[in-house]
Amino acid sequence: MTSDITGHSVLDPASRELRIVRGPIFTHLLLADEINRAPAKTQSALLEVMQEYQVTIEGQTIPLPKPFMVLATQNPVETEGTYPLPEAQLDRFLFKVQIGYPSAEEEIAVVVRVTAGQAGDDLPLADVKPCLDGAAVFALQQLTARVRVDEHVVDYAVRIVRATRDYAGVAIGSGSRGALALVRGARAVALLDGRGFVTPDDVKRIALPALRHRIALSPDALLEGRTTNDLLTEILGAVPAPRA
């Protein structure tokens, strides 16, 4: 239920007034595992949270702690008992990261670490140490926002997004949040590379995760077996990059 996530109000027997009980959404990092198993009404409640960073309970607006981020997973194979995520909600996510099967060496390492000397309900978490706190994440966000983006690079990001709206094989193109995701993601890429400025290659590097959940393929493209990654790669090749 929606109240299981956002919270609810109860009658306080002592004061005889309604008291707000905050749900698990009041945190810095919210992980919604298999989010497509949540009913549509619960998913729609996340729109206010992800866009406005606030929750409204019984007419009372409560701000969320900052920094606040939502991570969500969904299994693309199982569809029984699931609800498709609406486009408006998908658009609120900055990236869609596709995770495939691990390599043979990685899979062997996972099996060894999880099963060696441990019962079925144990996980090898003893060596996991925190490396960031909320204040450090907020400082990194502020630092990323100050990475310089040339006007020509912004124009390049916008042209990529606009190209998705009338490209053959795309039924629904990306909205303006796609361009915002490209610029913000490119800033983070530049910061991770130790640069104080964004290049067109930074935009290209994050174009697929930033846009693949913001476009819908036409029936003809689906019948041909084409994927969003295929079309986005074609669009990136067709849109000329600036020399910056």
Q: What is the pLDDT of residue 106?
A: 93
Percent share of the chain, pLDDT over 70: 98
Rounded distance between C-alpha atoms, residue 189 and residue 154, angstroms:
15
> What is the average pLDDT value for the chain, to the nearest integer?
86
How far apart (Å, rounded) are the C-alpha atoms in residues 169 and 227?
A: 10
Q: Does domain 8-75 have CATH number 3.40.50.11780?
A: no
Q: Where are the domains of the chain?
A: 8-75, 147-244
Say yes or no to pLDDT of 97 above 70.
Answer: yes
Nearest to 94 by CA among 2, 218, 186, 231: 186
Domain covering 147-244: architecture: Orthogonal Bundle (1.10)
Beta bridge partners of 22: 7
